[in-house]
């Protein structure tokens, strides 16, 4: 056996690529990333320190797999879907063990209402019945075709089976799924409905679609995490999967404590009931960090397949890319740009492809949207991860360091950001909220644009040197920035519904129109401002 950092090479016959391998007496787990004659290279998910060269290794004959079933909601998992609270009961406040733990609670009692009876014939994917997971109806489908021999009616727990087929096969309520394989669906639909985030600058200027993807890159201190968490709290979706990927432990503690006390503004239910949290903080093992986004997206796809609107938030995808780079370097692969492996772009693209609105195998409509933060080194957006994301993401919210320094939050730059869903979403808002939506959006952008041009002039001649009409533009644009685009995440203003958003911008632009008319009638600006 050979060991170098997190990679261990073993000689076990019959291994397949991406099979899980158990290494050493401590039961560390890893994944086969390279196969050679007589040697398999295993990427181990836990810290290998203390592992000896003569310890045993065992092939597990399956790839990295998550368990999907009722009870995932309000769960907190690490990158390998180990439940963190039960891990704490097992090993105390520090994570010292590599042991695998079944992610779901086997003892929890569920109420199952069957739709089929023993003796009924079903085909694979047929609806068998449902249970209630918090406020969500959780349907269960037939695992295979055949005749039902026994089906539970009422209480059951995941420790037992839900029923049995006539040929003796069990009907499980939990299904395993390999994380690196996208879950299948009947067909993909194009996104037509908006995903309301409650953030004015996003919903109004750069709207996002359900089933769409967005990234927001920003240097440190630009408010990525706060924005990500605000969206997790307020987004108009059914289920949120939040991935803390290589980020701060204290921030995750804050999020976990806060989410327990808040309620979902759309349904009134406790916020945690619609949330799944996957945490792999920056000091937890790198390989598990790489796996964490796949673990999360698989769980998100599972709820999409049950017919829900799911939003995956990851903070931050750069840490995932860095994990990929560390692993690639330890395998001594040929590096591409800035040391990242050349498959960075294709892996990212494949990950983004798992988002979308789909018609599921059993005919439901579900969606999976993604909003990912990016942490470009030095705040430089020309770096490979941001660029790779831009190739596939549907919306780009650029977080601006200079706005953040001025305490303008969310620090979304209104010139550089864009959304490819804009046209479709504006059409929707025009018909659903107000026919003025599109027109006001255009005017808002024009005002901000004019301000920028005027600012350059004002820097030379001073604001007082500008004409009244131009000073009015500057004044209104300032108010748009401060009263409309800024949103304090710590007050009630943190969430703004589309009609509130529209009312606010309509008022500001209305003010501008009135003042402009008065100016034309010969009233001086200074007098207008006094009012």
Partner 1 sequence: MRLSEHIYRTVSSIRGPLLFAQRVFAARIGEVVRISYPDGETAEGEILKIDGESVLIQVFGETRGLNLAATLVFTDAVKKAPLAEDVVGRVFNGSFLPIDGAPMFIPEQWAPITGAPINPTSRARPEEFIETGLTSIDLLNTLVKGQKLPIFSSAGLPAKEMTAAIVRQARLSGGGSFVVVFVALGLPHHEYSFYMDVLAGMQSDFVAFINRAGEPVMERLLAPRFGLAVAEYLAFTRGMDVLVVITDMTNYCDALREVSTAREELPGRRGYPGYMYSDLAALYERAGRIKGVAGSVTMLPVVTMPEDDITHPIPDLTGYITEGQIVLSRELHQKGVFPPVDVLPCLSRLMQRGIGKGRTREDHRAVADSLYKQYAKGRDLRRLEAIVGREGMVEKDRSMLDFADAFERELVHQGGERRNINASLDAGIALLRRFNSAAP
What does the binding site for partner 1 look like in residue numbers (CB under 8 A)?
Answer: 1-5, 9, 47-54, 76, 84-85, 87-88, 91-96, 219-221, 225, 244, 246, 248-254, 256-257, 279, 281-284, 286, 319, 322-323, 325-326, 329, 335, 338-339, 375, 377-380, 405-407, 459-464, 490
């695998």: which residue's tokens?
100
The distance of closest approach from Cβ of residue 351 to partner 1 in the complex, given in angstroms and rounded to an integer, is 20
The distance of closest approach from Cβ of residue 55 to partner 1 in the complex, given in angstroms and rounded to an integer, is 8
* Alpha carbon distance 331, 327 (integer Å): 6
Of residues 98 and 114, the one with the C-beta less far from partner 1: 98
Neighbours of 466 (CB within 10 A): 17
CB proximity list for 106: less than 8 A, separation 6 or greater: 157, 158, 159
* Alpha carbon distance 298, 276 (integer Å): 12
Of residues 55 and 120, the one with the C-beta less far from partner 1: 55
Of residues 254 and 507, the one with the C-beta less far from partner 1: 254
CA distances from 190 to 180, 209, 232 (A): 24, 10, 23
Of residues 142 and 256, the one with the C-beta less far from partner 1: 256
Strand ranges, E, within 316-377: 356-359, 365-374
Of residues 204 and 242, the one with the C-beta less far from partner 1: 242
The distance of closest approach from Cβ of residue 322 to partner 1 in the complex, given in angstroms and rounded to an integer, is 6
The distance of closest approach from Cβ of residue 279 to partner 1 in the complex, given in angstroms and rounded to an integer, is 5
- Backbone CA torsion sign across 388, 391, 394, 397: positive
The distance of closest approach from Cβ of residue 109 to partner 1 in the complex, given in angstroms and rounded to an integer, is 24
Burial 327-355 (b: 16+ CB within 10 A, else e): bbebeeeeeeeeebbeebbebbeebbebb
* Alpha carbon distance 289, 508 (integer Å): 45
CA distances from 158 to 84, 103, 338 (A): 19, 11, 47
Of residues 119 and 377, the one with the C-beta less far from partner 1: 377
Of residues 51 and 149, the one with the C-beta less far from partner 1: 51
Neighbours of 465 (CB within 10 A): 11
DSSP H or E run through 62: strand 57-63
CB proximity list for 503: less than 8 A, separation 6 or greater: none
* Alpha carbon distance 346, 455 (integer Å): 42
The distance of closest approach from Cβ of residue 15 to partner 1 in the complex, given in angstroms and rounded to an integer, is 18
Classify strands 275-280 and 239-245 as parallel, antiparallel or unpaired.
parallel
The distance of closest approach from Cβ of residue 380 to partner 1 in the complex, given in angstroms and rounded to an integer, is 7
CB proximity list for 506: less than 8 A, separation 6 or greater: 434, 436, 440
The distance of closest approach from Cβ of residue 286 to partner 1 in the complex, given in angstroms and rounded to an integer, is 6
The distance of closest approach from Cβ of residue 467 to partner 1 in the complex, given in angstroms and rounded to an integer, is 16
Of residues 338 and 507, the one with the C-beta less far from partner 1: 338
């Amino acid at each position: 056996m050979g060991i170098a950092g997190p990679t261990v090479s073993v000689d076990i016959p019959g291994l397949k690529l991406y099979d899980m391998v158990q290494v050493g007496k401590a039961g560390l787990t890893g994944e086969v990333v390279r196969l050679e004659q007589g040697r398999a290279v295993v990427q181990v998910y836990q810290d290998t320190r203390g592992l000896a060269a003569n310890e045993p290794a065992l092939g597990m004959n399956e790839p990295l797999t998550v368990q999907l079933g009722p009870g995932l909601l309000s769960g907190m998992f690490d990158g390998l879907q180990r439940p963190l609270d039960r891990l704490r009961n097992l090993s105390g406040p520090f994570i010292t063990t590599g042991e695998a733990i079944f992610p779901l609670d086997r003892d929890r009692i569920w109420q199952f209402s069957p739709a089929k009876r023993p003796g009924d014939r079903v085909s694979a994917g047929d609806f068998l019945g449902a249970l209630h997971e918090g406020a969500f109806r959780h349907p269960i489908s037939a695992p295979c075709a055949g005749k039902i021999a026994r089906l539970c009616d009422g209480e059951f727990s995941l420790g037992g089976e839900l029923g049995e087929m006539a040929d003796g096969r069990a009907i499980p309520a939990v299904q395993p799924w390999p994380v690196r394989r996208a879950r299948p669906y009947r067909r993909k639909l194009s996104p037509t409905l908006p995903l309301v985030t409650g953030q004015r600058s996003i919903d109004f200027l750069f709207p996002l679609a359900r089933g769409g993807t967005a990234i927001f890159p920003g240097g440190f201190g630009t408010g990525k995490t706060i924005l990500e968490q605000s969206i997790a709290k307020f987004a108009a979706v059914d289920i949120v999967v939040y991935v803390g990927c290589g980020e701060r432990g204290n921030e995750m503690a804050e999020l976990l404590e806060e989410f327990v006390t808040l309620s979902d503004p759309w349904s009134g239910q406790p916020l945690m009931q619609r949330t799944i949290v996957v945490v792999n903080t920056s000091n937890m093992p790198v390989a598990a960090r790489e796996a964490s986004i796949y673990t999360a997206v698989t769980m998100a796809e599972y709820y999409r397949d049950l017919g829900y609107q799911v939003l995956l938030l990851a903070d931050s995808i750069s840490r995932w890319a860095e994990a990929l780079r560390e692993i690639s370097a330890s395998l001594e692969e040929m590096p591409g740009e800035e040391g990242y492996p050349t498959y960075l772009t294709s892996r990212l693209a494949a990950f983004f492809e798992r988002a979308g609105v789909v018609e599921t195998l059993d005919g439901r409509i579900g969606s999976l949207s993604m909003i990912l933060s990016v942490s470009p080194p030095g705040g430089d957006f020309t770096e490979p991860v941001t660029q790779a994301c831009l190739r596939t993401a549907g919306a780009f919210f650029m977080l601006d360091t200079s706005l953040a320094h001025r305490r303008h939050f969310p620090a979304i730059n209104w010139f550089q950001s864009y959304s490819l869903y804009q046209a479709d979403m504006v059409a929707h808002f025009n018909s659903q909220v107000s026919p003025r939506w599109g027109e006001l959006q255009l005017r808002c952008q024009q005002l901000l644009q004019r301000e920028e041009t005027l600012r350059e002039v004002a820097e030379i001649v001073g604001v007082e040197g500008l004409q009244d009409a131009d000073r009015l533009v500057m004044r209104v644009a300032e108010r748009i920035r401060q009263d409309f685009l800024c949103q304090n995440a710590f007050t009630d203003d943190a969430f703004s519904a589309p009609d509130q958003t529209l009312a606010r911008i309509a008022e500001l632009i209305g003010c501008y129109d009135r003042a402009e008319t008065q100016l034309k009638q010969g009233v001086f600006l200074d007098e207008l401002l006094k009012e």
